[in-house]
Amino acid sequence: MSAPLGGTVLFADDDLELRKTLATLLTQLGYEYLAATSGAQAIDAALQHLPDLIILDVLLPDQDGYRICRHIRNTPQLAEVPIILITATDTPEARLEGLQAGADDFLAKPIDVTELQLRIRNVLHLNRYRQLREERAKFTWMAEQNDVAYLILDADDYIAYANQVARRYIVQLSSPLSATFPSFTFLELVQQQYNCEPRDEWANWPHPTPNNAPRYLVLPETIHNRAFWLEVEVVPLSHRTPTSYLVRLRDVTSRMNLQHDMRGFQTLVMHKLRTPLVGILGGLELLLSDPLVQAQPMIRDLLDIIMQSARRLHSDVTDVVSYLQSESVVDPYPGLVLQHLQGRVQLIAENLGIGSIHFAMPAELNPLRISIPARTLDIIFYELLDNSIKFHPTRTPQLTITVQRVEPQRIAITITDDGLHLPPEHLTAATNPYYQGEKTLTGEVPGMGLGLPTVTTLLWRNGGTVEIGNRPDRPGIMVTLLVPLVQISTR
């Protein structure tokens, strides 16, 4: 029989043969063995090595085992070390005296090796369970005093512990006792209250994300409240097969709002840049249309180059402003009624110079209202349609938009083009701000690559999400917006 726990065992006895026998046994079982022949040696060795278990013979040359046991229990460094007393007189009185001295277990002489092995294993189990309870009590106290949410999950994602902050964030947890927790996994519970974003990063929960990519729980924005953000971190509590996980939830709403406020300042700067650019563009157009300029090819060509650069700068500034504004778009009106969607998208397409769009939506969806306000949806479709032009080899995309009900309270709007396939690394990075895939794939074109980051930010804030992938049948991209329906009161 093997010793699953291992550890260091100190054996104090003046019987040489017994010490040899025990040394062989304990070494074979995987324990580290220490020997002492007197009480003084036992105490010195215990202080030096801090063993996991002490086995004491009651009859030692210099002092009896009861006295040594009391001394160990009164020594702070050794007070929690379990002790097994070996006695030649296994009487109730001897056991009572040993218990009063602080012994954890007893073994009568002559020693049965199998019994000794079982006693060692059981005492170590009990002691480590006691230490575990003490450590858990310390953790619980610190966690309850903390202003950050902490939870412990078992291997199946069920909550074993949640501190008071976590119970405040997850409304279904009204008690710190795991026995009273709802019979749902952590992921099932938070999905009842929050949106888990980005969706792909939650696919392997509760395992940590590759490259420490962030996970968020998002309470979407309303007319009266800004979006609420929790950053989620998870750490396995074992480096081998995980048996439990420690989860930390941090309120990062202030950080997100600070980023938004900084972007608001940046937006002001961008507007200051855009205003003079409009004047520059207007002046260049007048110069280029002047007959005197047209008659001088060198000047005309130079002005053409300046005009192209000014238009590109204007386009870049417009893209940045659009992204910076995306987080602050709060429409005072309820979401868009779907019967108005086709007209708004068609108008945006015309403004961008896109000839035609095939639009398909079942008639029964017309009266439904989605959570995205009209003004916000205009920005989303402008960015998506503008991207479809940038990623098309001839800048003339053929677009198909389909709308369908994928769940009782969720609508899927899919925009499909006939442009290029994107490599996996581009699909993964496509929602990162300022990532410009078109520079690598299609050559450097006007734009800052802000389309999908803008779309993602707006959807998350309004309770939706976005999925992007390559068309399965031919070159092109498919972007799917998953948008909740507005709950309309019947009262």
Candidates 210, 325, 477, 439; CA nearest to 467 is 477
**Core vs surface per residue 301-340: b (16+ CB within 10 A) or e:** eebeeebeebeebbbbbbbbbbbbbbbebbbeeebbebee
One pLDDT digit (tens) per residue for the chain, 491 residues: 333 446 788 998 888 888 888 888 888 878 888 999 888 898 889 888 888 888 888 888 888 888 889 888 888 778 878 888 888 777 778 788 888 888 888 888 777 778 888 888 777 777 665 665 566 666 666 666 677 888 888 888 888 888 888 888 887 776 655 555 667 899 999 998 898 988 888 988 988 887 677 899 988 877 767 788 899 999 887 665 567 888 999 888 877 666 555 555 555 555 566 667 777 878 888 888 888 888 888 888 888 888 888 877 777 666 665 555 544 444 445 678 899 999 989 988 888 888 778 999 999 999 999 988 887 888 888 888 888 888 788 888 999 999 999 988 899 999 999 988 877 766 666 655 444 444 444 444 343 334 577 678 778 878 888 888 889 888 888 999 999 998 654 44
Is residue 52 a contact partner of residue 8, using CB atoms and an 8 Å limit?
A: yes
User: Secondary structure of the chain: what % helix, strand, coil (to 5)?
Assistant: 45, 20, 35
Is residue 154 a contact partner of residue 162, using CB atoms and an 8 Å limit?
A: no
In the DSSP assignment, the letter for residue 129 is: H
Is residue 53 a contact partner of residue 26, using CB atoms and an 8 Å limit?
A: no
Instruction: State whether residue 328 is helix, strand or coil.
Output: coil
- pTM of full prediction above 0.75: no
d(CA 47, CA 437): 65
d(CA 261, CA 255): 10
